[in-house]
Amino acid sequence: MVEYRDILEKSKKDALYGREISPPHVKKDKCIGCGLCVDICAALVFELREKKSEVIYGEKCNACGHCWAICSEEAVTQPQVITTTSLRPGSEPAVSADSLQLLIRERRSVRLFNDNAVSKEDLIKIINAGRYAPTSSNRQAVNYIVLSNQQKISKLRSSVENFMEKTFKMMENRAIAFFYKMKYGPLAVDLLRHYAINYQILKTRKEKKAYFPLPFGSAVIIVHSQSFDSLAQFNCAIALYNCSLMAHSMGLGSCFMGFVQIGINMDKKIKHWLDIPKGNQAYGAMVIGHPNVKYRRLVERKEPNIRWL
Ligand SMILES: Cc1cc2nc3c(=O)[nH]c(=O)nc-3n(C[C@H](O)[C@H](O)[C@H](O)COP(=O)(O)O)c2cc1C
Ligand code: SF4
Ligand code: SF4
């Protein structure tokens, strides 16, 4: 068997995590040997020896902080997770199930905004909601690009429009459409044509409001991550969804922008302009602004398709 310690050199681990992670430390005099840190650590860093917790595989720590968060004796520390906040988990979850369910249902895509700018402070607050989303192996490899300058947002909009127009045009070519169907499945072209119709209708409207592919919001947040990681997409998606919930709770509106995401990844010029590293892909884009609308009613969605095994 290959000794994992040969593989997990410190430099490689730092590169994989994009940050330095120190091993945890156990204060033996405080440890009562309850074994909770041993059981909770998914990286299997500790072992209980002579009724005290001991750090055996410190280099495997991913700084999730579970050991520090769970120890009743404050006997275990991990430098990267110690927080200065005085906030603590309450005896009950911070939000009731009913409130959370309502928040989830209240959050709707907002595409109509007024001209008020979203402050940098608020954008940081929103991104901090993404920051505390879980990530696979706690890699925290979700990166954010924020466009809050209207000229840059316009440039992004027109670049994505150009990309879309080219793509829709290609679908008029039967050979290319056939190739697309073969590559992406029988409904791929129909879906693109469906979007093409929406785009054509909007183009004919004089007043540009809920504009496709990018409405007139105050800011755009793009999340990107390394494409070698097959969980990067999931990590980015949940982080951005957290951001959208936070935006809603702050009285702001947001909408995920699928075509912006696709345009960035498929048009090298856009990706280059945004300075997204070569090995990275955009896994989400979201427009944010002050809503010009208020939804008065909740809506129904279809019953979930569940297969119980
Ligand atoms: C996409 C994704 C995949 C994950 N896969 C695993 C897994 O296979 N096994 C596991 O124990 N934890 C898994 N986790 C949990 C992460 O390790 C965990 O979210 C991270 O360490 C941060 O801890 P927290 O969720 O307690 O904040 C996964 C998390 C995400 C977001
Ligand atoms: S959780 Fe704390 S007290 Fe319990 S074994 Fe670990 S370090 Fe010791
Ligand atoms: S911070 Fe997480 S991974 Fe590191 S030792 Fe503690 S529980 Fe294990």
Nearest atom, ligand 2, residue 33 CA = 5
Distance CA 65, CA 79 (A): 9
Nearest atom, ligand 3, residue 55 CA = 5
Ligand 1 centroid – CA 136 distance (Å): 5
Ligand nearest to C-alpha 233: 1
Report the SS3 class of residue 264: helix
Ligand 3 centroid – CA 76 distance (Å): 10
**Contact between residue 298 and residue 103 where contact means Cβ atoms under 8 Å apart:** no
pLDDT at site 247? 98
pLDDT at site 119? 97
Give the tokens for residue 59.
């280099």
Pocket test for ligand 2, best of 26, 30, 32, 52 (most atoms within 8 A of CB): 32
Burial class (CB in 10 A: 0-12, 13-18, 19+), 192: middle
* pLDDT (tens place) for every residue of the chain, 309 residues total: 556 666 677 777 888 898 999 999 999 999 999 999 999 999 999 999 999 999 999 999 999 999 999 999 999 999 999 888 888 999 999 999 999 999 999 999 999 999 999 999 999 999 999 999 999 999 999 999 999 999 999 999 999 999 998 988 888 898 998 988 898 888 888 888 888 888 888 888 877 766 778 988 999 999 999 999 999 999 999 999 999 999 999 999 999 999 999 999 999 999 999 999 999 999 999 999 999 999 999 999 999 999 999
Ligand 3 centroid – CA 43 distance (Å): 6
- CA-based diameter of the chain, in Å? 77
Ligand nearest to C-alpha 131: 1
Report the SS3 class of residue 286: strand
Give the tokens for residue 138.
């706690």
Ligand nearest to C-alpha 75: 2
Instruction: Please list, in sequence order, all residues whose beta carbon lies within 8 angstroms of the beta carbon of residue 287, skipping any fewer than 6 positions away.
Output: 111, 113, 214, 215, 217, 219, 220, 254, 255, 257
Nearest atom, ligand 3, residue 65 CA = 1
Instruction: List the domains of the chain with CATH numbers.
Output: 4-77 (3.30.70.20), 101-159+211-289 (3.40.109.10)
Ligand 2 atom 2: the closest Cα is on which residue? Answer: 71
Nearest atom, ligand 2, residue 74 CA = 2
Ligand 2 centroid – CA 32 distance (Å): 6
pLDDT at site 39? 98
Give the tokens for residue 191.
């879906």
pLDDT at site 123? 98
Ligand 1 centroid – CA 130 distance (Å): 15
Q: What is the DSSP string of 66-92?
A: HHHHH-TT--EE-TTT---------SS
Ligand nearest to C-alpha 136: 1
Ligand 1 atom 28: the closest Cα is on which residue? Answer: 136
